[in-house]
Amino acid sequence: MHHKHQMLDHDMAHMHHASSDGDMMIHGGHMMHMGNLKQKFWISLIATVPILALSPFMGLHLPFQMTFIGSDWVVLILATFLFFYGGAPFLKGAQGELTAKNPAMMTLIAMGISVSYLYSLYAFVANHFLNPQGHVMDFFWELATLIVIMLLGHWIEMNAVMSAGSALEKMAALLPSQAQVVDADGRQHAVDLKALQTGQTVIVVAGEKVPADGLILTGQSQVNESLVTGESKAVAKIEGDQVIGGTINGNGTLTVKVTGTGENGYLAQVMKLIQQAQQEKSKVETLADRVAKYLFYAALIVGIMAFISWFFLADLNTAFERMVTVFIIACPHALGLAIPLVVARSTAIAATNGLLIQNRQAIEMADKVTMVLMDKTGTLTQGVFKVNAVQVNATTLDKRRLMQIFGALERHSSHPLATGILADNREQALPELQAENVQTMQGVGLVGTIDGRNYQVVTAAYLQAHHLDFDRKMFQTLAEKGNSISYLLQDQTVLGLVAQGDQLKPEAPLFIQALKKRNIQPVMLTGDNQQVAQKVAAQLGGMEVQANLKPEDKAAIIKDYQANGEVVLMVGDGVNDAPSLTRADIGVAIGAGTDVAIDAADVILVKSNPNDIMNFLNLSRSTNRKMTQNLWWGAGYNIIAIPLAGGLFAGLGIVLGPAVGAVLMSLSTIVVAINAMTLKLKRNE
């Protein structure tokens, strides 16, 4: 299966701005801007400090608090500003949730801050104008801290999920500041990278950074792509190959035609993917929303019941106070930090372990995975092929000519089999032939024209499907030795074959055994022949094998598994696996930097180590456990606190005072923070 590596263009200038400031879809469909959120937090925090110093805490005067003539007016003015400025995202978010008839986190927060503000406003009027001799407790302290902590929680979460984007943004710094452009008359001159245009020709000498995405016109070299793809091995590049801006040219001088500049090249595309992923809403967040919804309805019901009960048992003021206490306690400060702190910690751990999680929904789904399907070449094996045998059938050809024809066609492919043939041709110092109109046959090979004659590179499965004659015994012998075999056709006649061998990745057997220990079924999906696939499976300790597959076959197999209730994680090396990575519940790309990793994967492993998949599964399990724990710590105590705050057990002499409620909220916030920080990754080694 051969694929050209295609580079897609996007506007990097726009992306740089978008990923720097960042937008994030929060609850209720309200788009919160990262820059605005950060600004809102700091300004709200500044406004909160004097409120904390001048107003009582749930009726209690703390040692650091003070008052002076007019101080309560200062508190009122600052709290009003804080409610309308800092609370705006939550009020708008609640409006979106209520419009959708789905009250959740934003509605709960909006209820807490609205009730705090409106009741405190009533308390201010009552204390100053209606009954100056009495005292109605206000909740300005709680209003301020609730807004600030909720803003902090959303900022932490957005900052965490954008950290990967910030890391990729640094990739832009890999680009040189200038490029050596060749004019039409052959003269060279340096231009700023910003002035570089698509279609221009640049010279890249040995040791220099490639200034932009492009196509090699002349020259050959070993290019270090590790800073972009994470792959440590230098990649051989020859005429017709594509290069990525930011990679480092090795030992040769290249003349490159620019296909994508710094503003619309590969790096910009990766950034765009990150930004899109940041707007995904994970199912765990939906769980947090569901908890918030239950709290909202519970508080509403208990609060109204408390108001009615205390109105008849005591007076209007007591009834209001009980109801307001219920509404405020129902929106615990810790709930705003429960998920964001875990996400921040999990994202940091993932980044330091080479895991780029682009769809956070994958974290929650990973704990339910029952099957891991994986491509063979480049995932379980090194993907570095070596020519082991060449067989010529036609009397008009010799081995050198056969390999030249193979090379002319394979030069237009980035498949590992193509790399092996081209490397062998270079070792043999074979003169290059030029092929025209070369096209990829999905899941089969290549077709093209050389010296006016049409040739095809195909698999044994293609020959069998078209009932073409070939030496099956030879195929059997070579395949049983673990070779992948390519055939050359001309006018439906087999001219010869090339057999190439691959090596297992040393980490692969441990990975397969670890999956089995977790009762996850490993399945190999490969376009290679059955004999090679079975041999590899045996070396890995045994696993289910599906061979001779085209890309669409893999996607169909995944669909069948899913129809049977399986939760499927698909692992691919970024070549030919786009349909199946998209179809799977979780798509994991091994080896960042390929077009499929950019287009289809939920998770990218920066290092091409299959063991990192187990690390991802382990991290997912730990993250989900911490999120569930934090939701209980952040909101679970309300099962007891809400009825007590409403005074529903007052007949037994048990009433939760506002001060006790405040202490419980503070303790749960501390526990949530400590619990999130204890999240760790158990590595699979």
How many helices (H) and strands (E) the chain has is answered by 25, 24
How would you label 142-154 residue by residue, b for 16+ Cβ within 10 Å and e otherwise? bbbbbbbbbbbbb
Interatomic CA distance for residues 262 and 193, integer angstroms: 7
Interatomic CA distance for residues 380 and 539, integer angstroms: 11
Q: Side by side, which strands form the sheet with 436-441?
A: 386-392, 493-501, 483-490, 453-458, 445-450, 436-441
Tokens of 162: 């954008």
Provide the CA 474 distance to its chain's centre, in angstroms.
46
Interatomic CA distance for residues 456 and 680, integer angstroms: 52
Tokens of 566: 């399986």
Q: Is the dihedral of CA 363, 342, 51, 39 positive or negative?
A: negative
Tokens of 657: 């005072």
Residue 445 · residue 405 · CB < 8 Å: no
Strand boundaries in 272-333, DSSP class E: none
Task: Calculate the alpha carbon distances from 189 to 194, 251, 256, 507, 636 in Å.
Answer: 15, 22, 15, 48, 68
Residue 288 · residue 26 · CB < 8 Å: no
Q: Is the dihedral of CA 358, 157, 275, 608 positive or negative?
A: negative
Helix (H, G, I), strand (E, B) or coil at 546: strand
Provide the CA 51 distance to its chain's centre, in angstroms.
40
- Give the residue numbers annotated as catalytic, written as ranges: 375
Question: Residue 16's CB: how many other CB atoms inside 10 A?
Answer: 17
Question: DSSP letter at 20?
Answer: H
Q: What does R_g of the chain's alpha carbons equal in angstroms?
A: 32
Residue 571 · residue 373 · CB < 8 Å: yes
Tokens of 630: 């934090």
Query: For residue 572, what are the β-bridge partners?
Result: 589
Alpha carbons within 13 A on the beta-carbon side of 490: 18
Alpha carbons within 13 A on the beta-carbon side of 303: 21
Tokens of 621: 């399990």
Dump the DSSP string for 99-127. HTT---HHHHHHHHHHHHHHHHHHHHHII
Tokens of 18: 């978008």
Tokens of 21: 């400031």
Alpha carbons within 13 A on the beta-carbon side of 21: 13
Tokens of 118: 């409106």
Helix (H, G, I), strand (E, B) or coil at 637: coil
Interatomic CA distance for residues 540 and 534, integer angstroms: 10
Tokens of 540: 């890995």
Q: Which amino acid is at 140?
A: F
Helix (H, G, I), strand (E, B) or coil at 262: coil
